[in-house]
Amino acid sequence: MVILNLSKRTKHSFHMKIKISLSSSLILLGCSIVIPMHLLAGEKAEITQKCPPTGIWCLLPSYSYKHPNQMDRLNGTPCWTNPNVDGIVLRADWDKIEPTEGNIDFRYFDRGLELAKKYNKRIEILVPAGKHSPQWVYAAGAEKFYFHHHNGKPTDYMPIPWHPVLQEKFGNLIKKLGERYDSSLYLSYVIMTGFGHSTEAWFAGPADMDEYNAIGGNAKWLEGVKWFAALYNKAFPTTPFLVAMCPPSRDDEGRATLKKFVEDGVKDYPHRFGLKAASLEPNDRPDSRKLSYRSVNRFSDQTVVGFEMLRATYKLNGTLKAALDTAIAVKAQFVEVYEPDLVDPKQQEVLAEASDKLKKNLTWNNRNL
């Protein structure tokens, strides 16, 4: 199946007729149209992009060894039937869904897709990697990078992102996910991973800088992360792919490196490479100097941009409305909100109002939503 843009007029537009039998169907979701290939004989099909994610998205716990019951909980979240929720974030850790090489467990994403179809919601797919990489990757030869913590947490590790074994093994997973899910109109976007500690792009903390620089530092990270962008672009040719912004190192050089990656990505993959600021809090201001906030505002008229709440608001000081108002003022198009806030009856009017305003921030897409 292919996704078509039928809104673009050509010299043959008035003569093109597509006959649809009772056994065939059109699926309309947002502004994209899926048409079976056999209906297009003799016509040149123009593949186009899906509608970008907008509004309020439900951020569920990751399906992981820490949350093994998330598979069962997925069915029961009230977010599927909440009219103020536009989409559901489906997270599943790499070591959970591919415990042995090549044996990928698609059940969590498959179930989410089935529920999205049932309730007419859209989904995001995200595979936290980094420290969640399976042990067989190291057995195959991927080199470990160890993180040092001074807050009492034990040392942990992840594969070096530019190591060829990691790129081969993780690349195989992303290709398989793309083959299985990219054609679905219910899949609205994916988050790139594999080059950061977990989901966000940060890699080295202050205590890790000597070891980080010894393996190439930010220059090598930038080279590696561009490989990942090309991977996602090829694996998901009709689905926007976003970076969860956080500097690879917590210094000026790290921020400059992330800025360069985002600028190049927006230029190299127009309307497909997007970005998400992953630290929205109630007391943040629209004029925040955070690179992620400034990037959302800067690129809002060019590509997919949004926010992820730092935590549920019961763990923060301030209100959900204050946080969402900041995202709207910065011109975000979507916000991922944790489930406790989305099921709170007191927040429904706030969510409905915010969803409408976030959708109006989408201006670069010339199609009607």
Strand-pairing partners, residue 305, are: 275
pLDDT level of residue 50 (50, 70, 90 thresholds):
confident
The structure tokens listed for 181 are: 């899910």
CATH number at residue 342: 3.20.20.80
Domain contains 44? yes
- Same-domain status, 88 and 151: yes
Domain of 10 in residue numbering reads as: 1-48
The structure tokens listed for 51 are: 């509608």
- Same-domain status, 169 and 65: yes
- Same-domain status, 42 and 171: no
What value does the mean pLDDT of the chain take?
88
Domain contains 207? yes
Structure pTM?
0.88
pLDDT level of residue 155 (50, 70, 90 thresholds):
confident
- Same-domain status, 35 and 69: no
- Tell which of 48, 65, 86 closes a domain: 48
- Same-domain status, 124 and 30: no
Give the CA angle between residues 169, 202, 339 to the nearest 5°: 90
Domain contains 13? yes
Q: How far apart are CA 219 and CA 15, in angstroms?
A: 54
Domain contains 368? no
- Same-domain status, 175 and 35: no
Q: Coil, helix or strand for 256?
A: helix
Please count the structural domains in the chain.
2
Q: What is the pLDDT of residues 323-348, one digit of tens each?
A: 999 999 999 999 999 999 999 999 99
For residues 175-201, give the mean pLDDT.
97
Domain contains 101? yes
Percent of the chain at pLDDT > 90 equals 83
The owner of tokens 């800067």 is 298
**Range from 26-30, 52-56, 170-174, 245-249 carrying the lowest mean pLDDT:** 26-30
Q: Coil, helix or strand for 177?
A: helix
- Same-domain status, 168 and 24: no
- Same-domain status, 55 and 32: no
- Same-domain status, 245 and 277: yes
Question: Pick the residue with more confidence: 69 or 28?
Answer: 69
Domain contains 181? yes
**CA-wise closest residue to 277 among 298, 310, 304, 308:** 308
Burial class (CB in 10 A: 0-12, 13-18, 19+), 253: middle
